[in-house]
């Protein structure tokens, strides 16, 4: 075998190439055993139907850097939060609930 891989055994339905310096992404789909470049939709995202998501570039702050980031969106174009963003959102929600309980005279630390 010598490290050779049977190309017929591997089926990668989509792949993407992200060029950070250019802030560009290209997405390719396997069609009839050949990869074809996918067109971007009206939002500039690339649909990945198998996952029900879109892939695209988002400009914003993450990890203390304001850069173009490769991000996921749902099929409606809503940005999907990464783990850090979800954790922060849940912390803010918990803080609001704790404040509301205090307003009602309940100490959330006693619950």
pLDDT digits over 26-79, tens only? 999 999 989 999 999 999 999 999 999 999 999 998 888 899 999 999 999 999
20 three-state secondary structure: coil
Neighbour-count burial for 6-41, b at 16+ CB within 10 Å, e otherwise: eeeeeeeebeeeeeeeeeebebbbeeeeeeeebeee
Q: What is the pLDDT of residue 1?
A: 46
Tell me the domain boundaries of the chain.
1-80, 81-111
């Amino acid at each position: 075998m010598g490290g050779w891989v049977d190309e017929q055994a591997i089926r990668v339905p989509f792949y993407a190439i992200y060029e950070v310096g250019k802030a560009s992404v290209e997405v390719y789909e396997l069609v009839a055993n050949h990869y074809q470049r996918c067109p971007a939709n009206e939002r500039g995202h690339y649909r990945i139907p198998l996952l029900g998501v879109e892939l695209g570039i988002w400009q914003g702050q993450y990890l203390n850097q304001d850069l173009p980031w490769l991000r996921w969106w749902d099929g409606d174009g809503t940005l999907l939060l990464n783990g850090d963003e979800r954790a922060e959102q849940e912390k803010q929600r918990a803080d609001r609930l704790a404040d509301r309980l205090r307003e009602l005279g309940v100490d959330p630390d006693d619950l």
